[in-house]
């Protein structure tokens, strides 16, 4: 039997050639589809390419007409790039790795309109995960309101608040139930742990031996007595240990109860905040006022920043551990694809050098051409071994020259360390309505935005600062010129007028946002000179009303929860007393008996019948510790 079918060599070669031809004809389409699919998955909106051309012989890739739709505004592009030229490393392609030696991006434009919607029709559950995460973070930021109506007169309807809607009673009930469980468990443990028989026996033995004359006992009686005492010491010690164990259990339970009582205090504070919200009693602390005034505007501007931070977190992990991702889509099960990074090898995706020309259109001071450079952008920084560095600067001759964007992303070690410093002058921010004030604020087109962001491990710290020296306040409608009777105190018109008087004369605005905390959900705190001034004005104008409303709310919350809180505290104290009474006192009694028994044991073991041995200096007697 022959092994090879030599006449099939030519057809086999033809099959191979056919495979090569089909691959050559379809690779551009495959690259286009892959970029569109992966991009849409990451962004959460359509990523479209007009064309893609991969030339293997020259190892270069040209992408044309790249449009990335804005997931929040499907009829607008986040970014549009007419042409991207990338020089690839051909050897790395054979290892299924995309190593871009250099890439040139020309004519990048932001916020361009789209002809068709960029919304995805069949989004997978993981599509736009990062966008959703950022939106979730923004929606979770507490936004105080600046509602002054609730401060005046009968609007503060505190009696309508039900105790069912408060957290404190629930927390109190929980602690009470915990206390009941602890008491039941303690009583069950004590039932099997009655120390009285042991204590009584020990007392009887002590009394018997104390009444006996040890010197008259013969050696057998002395040995028997010593044995009795030792046995009793063992029993007492065992009982004491069991009582100690029960006490430790009880103490642990009591600590948990005390934590619960602390939780009641926290719940009470939360209830106060909750009731403030219910009766429209806003906080007039300066940070809260700043958040109420500028929260939406600032979060809107921080959204892209947090998007990129989260995107980097999702797709640029530190370390060299094998990574898993969902396998390619096919008729068969997709499975899981493992990546096995190898230090000092090529990463799966690497852009060694990239240069981009960016154009910001319009007539604002920020309009013009910019150039950006990125080196070492990779999905596996630990494999690449060098941090990613990026910078941008203005390249056109007009406009301010002091724009600065510098950043590094160092994930070569186990702890990621990223930093970003940005100074953007001449930013045009559209006029926006300031919530609850009936006024709008135009920051002009000369605002300066500074940003400093640092990330070390899971912690993110950042400072975003906007300053504008020539702001213009405007009142909505014709209320600025309205004449007529003075508005009723507490009415919306009165509140608006009060706010207007305090902000209208502020010519310069400075807003500072501080980001701190875990990367997944950092805290955002705002401060502003406008917020400070307004908080001061409101407190001065409405100090008495504020105090009255505050005290009403506090009194109402206290009246709803005080009884239950006091009862819980009483029950916890009673339980503490029970623990001391049922465990502490018997243990003390047993400890005393143990001492007496040890003393007796020493006496019994020190006696030689009829002879009292003298104590030798420096030599302890037998039985003495």
Which one of 55, 340, 570, 585 is in contact with other proteins (CB under 8 A)? 340
Q: Give 4: exposed, middle or buried? Use CB within 10 Å, 0-12, 13-18, 19+.
A: exposed
Element (H, E) at 137: helix 129-139
Residue 30 as a binder of other proteins (CB under 8 A): the answer is: no
Residue 322 as a binder of other proteins (CB under 8 A): the answer is: yes
Residue 336 as a binder of other proteins (CB under 8 A): the answer is: yes
Residue 308 as a binder of other proteins (CB under 8 A): the answer is: no
Choice between 15 and 474, CB closer to other proteins: 15
The answer to whether 530 and 509 are in contact (CB under 8 A) is yes
Which one of 21, 95, 248, 608 is in contact with other proteins (CB under 8 A)? 95
Which one of 96, 191, 363, 540 is in contact with other proteins (CB under 8 A)? 96
C-beta of 383: minimal distance to other proteins in Å?
A: 10
> Looking up tokens 């004369």, which residue turns up?
505
Choice between 106 and 323, CB closer to other proteins: 323
Sign of the Cα torsion 489, 472, 450, 370 reads positive
The answer to whether 549 and 282 are in contact (CB under 8 A) is no
How far is the C-alpha of 168 from the C-alpha of 174, rounded, in Å?
A: 10
Residue 25 as a binder of other proteins (CB under 8 A): the answer is: no
DSSP 3-state assignment of 557?
helix
The answer to whether 78 and 66 are in contact (CB under 8 A) is no
Q: Which of the ranges 8-16, 254-262, 460-468, 506-514 carries the binding residues for other proteins, by CB under 8 A?
A: 8-16
Choice between 97 and 247, CB closer to other proteins: 97
Choice between 345 and 493, CB closer to other proteins: 345
How far is the C-alpha of 604 from the C-alpha of 221, rounded, in Å?
A: 10
C-beta of 4: minimal distance to other proteins in Å?
A: 6
Residue 38 as a binder of other proteins (CB under 8 A): the answer is: no
DSSP 3-state assignment of 142?
coil
Q: What stretches of 212-346 show up as alpha helix (H) in DSSP?
A: 219-278, 286-315
> Looking up tokens 């009303």, which residue turns up?
545
* 191 C-beta neighbours (distance < 10 Å), count: 8
Q: Which of the ranges 54-62, 140-148, 270-278, 336-344 carries the binding residues for other proteins, by CB under 8 A?
A: 336-344
- Tokens linked to 476: 């909505």
Residue 3 as a binder of other proteins (CB under 8 A): the answer is: yes
- Tokens linked to 335: 């499975």
Q: Which of the ranges 13-21, 212-220, 360-368, 608-616 carries the binding residues for other proteins, by CB under 8 A?
A: 13-21
How far is the C-alpha of 107 from the C-alpha of 623, rounded, in Å?
A: 97
Residue 341 as a binder of other proteins (CB under 8 A): the answer is: yes
Which one of 191, 329, 330, 363 is in contact with other proteins (CB under 8 A)? 330
Which one of 73, 135, 155, 345 is in contact with other proteins (CB under 8 A)? 345
* 75 C-beta neighbours (distance < 10 Å), count: 13
Choice between 331 and 505, CB closer to other proteins: 331
String of contacts with other proteins for each residue 582-621, x by CB under 8 A? ----------------------------------------
Residue 94 as a binder of other proteins (CB under 8 A): the answer is: yes
Q: What is the DSSP letter of 5?
A: -
C-beta of 11: minimal distance to other proteins in Å?
A: 6
Residue 328 as a binder of other proteins (CB under 8 A): the answer is: yes
Helices 167-191 + 219-278 axis angle, to 10: 170
Residue 24 as a binder of other proteins (CB under 8 A): the answer is: no
Three-state SS string across 568-590, please?
HHHHHHHHHHHHHHHHHHHHHHH
Residue 11 as a binder of other proteins (CB under 8 A): the answer is: yes
Q: Which of the ranges 128-136, 197-205, 333-341, 558-566 carries the binding residues for other proteins, by CB under 8 A?
A: 333-341
C-beta of 113: minimal distance to other proteins in Å?
A: 39
Q: Nearest CA to 511 among 522, 525, 521, 501? A: 525
How far is the C-alpha of 438 from the C-alpha of 110, rounded, in Å?
A: 32
- Tokens linked to 542: 């409405």
Choice between 8 and 414, CB closer to other proteins: 8
With vertex at residue 331, the alpha carbon angle to CA 330 and CA 337, rounded to the nearest 5 degrees, is 40
C-beta of 37: minimal distance to other proteins in Å?
A: 16
Residue 339 as a binder of other proteins (CB under 8 A): the answer is: yes
Choice between 191 and 332, CB closer to other proteins: 332
C-beta of 1: minimal distance to other proteins in Å?
A: 7
Residue 5 as a binder of other proteins (CB under 8 A): the answer is: yes
Residue 169 as a binder of other proteins (CB under 8 A): the answer is: no
- Tokens linked to 478: 């014709």
How far is the C-alpha of 435 from the C-alpha of 455, rounded, in Å?
A: 32
How far is the C-alpha of 270 from the C-alpha of 96, rounded, in Å?
A: 55
> Looking up tokens 């109190």, which residue turns up?
172
With vertex at residue 470, the alpha carbon angle to CA 467 and CA 476, rounded to the nearest 5 degrees, is 105
Element (H, E) at 621: none
C-beta of 324: minimal distance to other proteins in Å?
A: 9
Q: What is the DSSP letter of 370?
A: E
Q: Which of the ranges 192-200, 324-332, 488-496, 505-513 carries the binding residues for other proteins, by CB under 8 A?
A: 324-332
Q: Which of the ranges 9-17, 75-83, 569-577, 599-607 carries the binding residues for other proteins, by CB under 8 A?
A: 9-17
The answer to whether 157 and 275 are in contact (CB under 8 A) is no
C-beta of 2: minimal distance to other proteins in Å?
A: 5
Total chain residues near other proteins (CB under 8 A): 34
- Tokens linked to 415: 């702890």
Choice between 322 and 622, CB closer to other proteins: 322
Residue 15 as a binder of other proteins (CB under 8 A): the answer is: yes
C-beta of 337: minimal distance to other proteins in Å?
A: 5
Choice between 94 and 154, CB closer to other proteins: 94
State the residues that interact with other proteins by CB under 8 A: 1-5, 8-9, 11-12, 15-16, 19, 91, 94-97, 322, 327-328, 330, 332-342, 345-346
């Amino acid at each position: 039997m022959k092994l090879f079918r030599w006449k099939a060599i030519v057809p086999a070669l033809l099959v191979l050639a056919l495979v090569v031809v089909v691959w050559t004809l379809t690779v551009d389409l495959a690259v286009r589809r892959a970029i569109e699919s992966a991009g849409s998955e990451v962004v959460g909106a359509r990523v479209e390419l007009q064309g893609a051309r991969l030339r293997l012989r020259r190892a270069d890739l040209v992408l044309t007409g790249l449009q990335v739709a804005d997931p929040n505004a499907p009829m607008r592009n986040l970014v549009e790039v007419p042409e991207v030229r990338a020089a690839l490393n051909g050897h790395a392609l054979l290892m299924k790795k995309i190593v871009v030696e250099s890439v040139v991006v020309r004519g990048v434009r932001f916020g361009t309109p789209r002809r068709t919607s960029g919304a995805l029709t069949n989004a997978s559950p993981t599509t736009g995960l990062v966008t959703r995460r950022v939106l979730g973070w923004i929606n979770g930021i507490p936004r105080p309101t600046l509602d002054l109506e609730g401060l005046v007169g009968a609007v503060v309807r505190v009696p309508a608040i039900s105790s069912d809607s408060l957290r404190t009673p629930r927390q109190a009930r929980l602690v009470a139930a915990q206390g009941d469980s602890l008491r039941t468990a303690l009583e069950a443990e004590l039932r099997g742990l009655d120390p009285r028989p042991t204590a009584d026996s020990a007392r009887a033995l002590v009394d018997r031996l104390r009444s006996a004359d040890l010197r008259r006992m013969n050696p057998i009686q002395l040995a028997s007595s010593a044995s009795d005492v030792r046995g009793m010491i063992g029993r007492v010690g065992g009982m004491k240990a069991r009582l100690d164990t029960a006490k430790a259990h009880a103490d642990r339970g009591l600590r948990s109860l005390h934590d619960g009582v602390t939780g009641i205090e926290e719940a009470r504070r939360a209830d106060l905040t909750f009731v403030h919200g219910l009766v429209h009693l806003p906080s007039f602390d300066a940070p809260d006022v700043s958040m109420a005034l500028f929260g939406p505007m600032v979060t809107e501007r921080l959204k892209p920043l947090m998007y990129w931070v989260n995107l980097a977190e999702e797709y640029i992990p530190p370390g060299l551990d094998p990574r898993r991702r969902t396998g390619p889509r096919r008729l068969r099960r997709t499975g899981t694809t493992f990546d096995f990074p190898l230090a000092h090898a090529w990463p799966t995706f690497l852009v060694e050098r990239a240069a981009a020309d960016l154009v910001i259109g319009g007539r604002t001071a920020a309009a013009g051409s910019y150039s950006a450079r990125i080196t070492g952008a990779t999905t596996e920084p630990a494999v690449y071994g060098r941090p990613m560095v990026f910078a941008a600067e203005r390249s056109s001759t007009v406009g301010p020259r002091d724009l600065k964007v510098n950043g590094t992303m160092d994930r070569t070690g186990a702890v990621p360390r990223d930093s970003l410093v940005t100074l953007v002058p001449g930013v045009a921010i559209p006029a926006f309505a300031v919530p609850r004030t009936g006024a709008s604020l135009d920051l002009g087109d000369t605002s300066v935005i500074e940003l400093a962001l640092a990330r070390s491990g899971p912690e993110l710290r950042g400072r975003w600062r906007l300053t504008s020296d020539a702001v213009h306040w405007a009142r909505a409608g014709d209320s600025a010129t309205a004449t007529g009777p003075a508005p009723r105190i507490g009415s919306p018109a009165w509140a608006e007028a009060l706010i207007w008087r305090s902000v209208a004369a502020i010519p310069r605005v400075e807003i500072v946002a501080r980001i701190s905390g875990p990367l997944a959900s950092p805290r955002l705190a705002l401060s502003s000179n406008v917020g400070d001034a307004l908080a001061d004005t409101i407190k001065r104008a409405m100090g008495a009303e504020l105090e009255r409303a505050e005290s009403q709310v506090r009194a109402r919350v206290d009246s709803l929860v005080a009884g239950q809180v006091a009862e819980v505290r009483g029950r916890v104290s009673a339980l503490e007393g029970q623990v001391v009474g049922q465990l502490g006192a018997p243990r003390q009694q047993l400890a005393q008996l143990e001492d007496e028994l040890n003393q007796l044991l020493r006496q019994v073991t020190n006696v030689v019948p009829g002879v009292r041995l003298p104590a030798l200096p420096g030599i302890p007697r037998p039985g003495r510790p």
